[in-house]
């Protein structure tokens, strides 16, 4: 299986590559259309601000390529952290910015109740349905995952949200629709639980 980590200049690509290597999978970091098209699966990483990320994607003329592969070819895509947020229609981080629009969702500031703090940095348990394949082999509400974010996804279609965490209120932790899958947390930094999730994603027949 060939995994392409999309290179637009704002991703945690080294830790992702290490995670895939650890579970015995090859991954390439690329913005080349042919390599993206030839890959079996795509990973959209992201660290930083939403508007900067979309500007970087557009600067490399990646938006039409990604739309084609995700929406027309239906290639499996995994979004990670900011990469998940880019799936949304728009974000209100430092103004209003259009996203890729793959999910009917918006990115809004985290508003939490004390003693929770923003940014949300650290380990949190994620709850999900017992039959959710993305978390197969992992106990709901007991397995911790590593989060780093100040904004969160608000899904207009509740069916898209397949995992939540409690950080001074309910926060979207994982989303899924068709060939599109994403996590707000960093699976590549979530030790055994994150590696299991990556294996579940790679092993799922879309």
Active site residues: 81, 186, 188
Angle ∠(44,50,55) on CA atoms, nearest 5: 85
CA 61 vs. chain centroid, Å, equals 21
Q: What are phi and psi of 169, to 5 degrees?
A: 140, 165
CB neighbour class for 30 (10 Å; exposed up to 12, middle 13-18, buried from 19)? middle
Nearest to 153 by CA among 78, 57, 50: 50
Question: What beta strand segments (E) does the chain contain?
Answer: 2-6, 26-30, 41-44, 77-80, 90-91, 97-98, 105-109, 120-125, 144-149, 151-155, 161-166, 170-177, 180-183
Which residues, 6+ apart, have CB-to-CB distance to 51 below 8 Å?
A: 91, 93, 94, 95, 97
């Amino acid at each position: 299986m060939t995994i392409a980590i999309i290179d637009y200049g704002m991703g945690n690509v080294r830790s992702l590559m290490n995670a895939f290597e650890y579970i015995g999978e090859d991954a390439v970091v690329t913005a080349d259309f042919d390599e993206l098209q030839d890959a079996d699966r795509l990973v959209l990483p992201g660290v930083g601000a939403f508007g900067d990320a979309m500007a970087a994607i557009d600067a490399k003329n990646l938006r039409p390529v990604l739309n084609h592969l995700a929406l027309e070819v239906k290639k499996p895509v995994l979004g990670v952290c900011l990469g998940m947020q880019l799936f949304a229609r728009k974000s209100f981080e430092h103004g209003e910015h259009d996203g890729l629009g793959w999910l009917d969702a918006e990115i809004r500031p985290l508003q939490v109740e004390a003693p929770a703090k923003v940014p949300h940095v650290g380990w949190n348990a994620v709850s999900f349905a017992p039959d959710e394949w993305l978390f197969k082999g992992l106990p709901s509400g007991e397995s911790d995952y590593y989060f780093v974010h100040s904004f969160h996804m608000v899904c207009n279609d509740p069916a898209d949200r397949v995992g939540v965490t409690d950080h001074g209120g309910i926060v979207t932790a994982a989303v899924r629709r068709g060939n599109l899958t994403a996590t707000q947390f960093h699976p590549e930094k979530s030790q055994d639980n994150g590696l299991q999730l990556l294996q579940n994603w790679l092993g799922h027949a879309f």
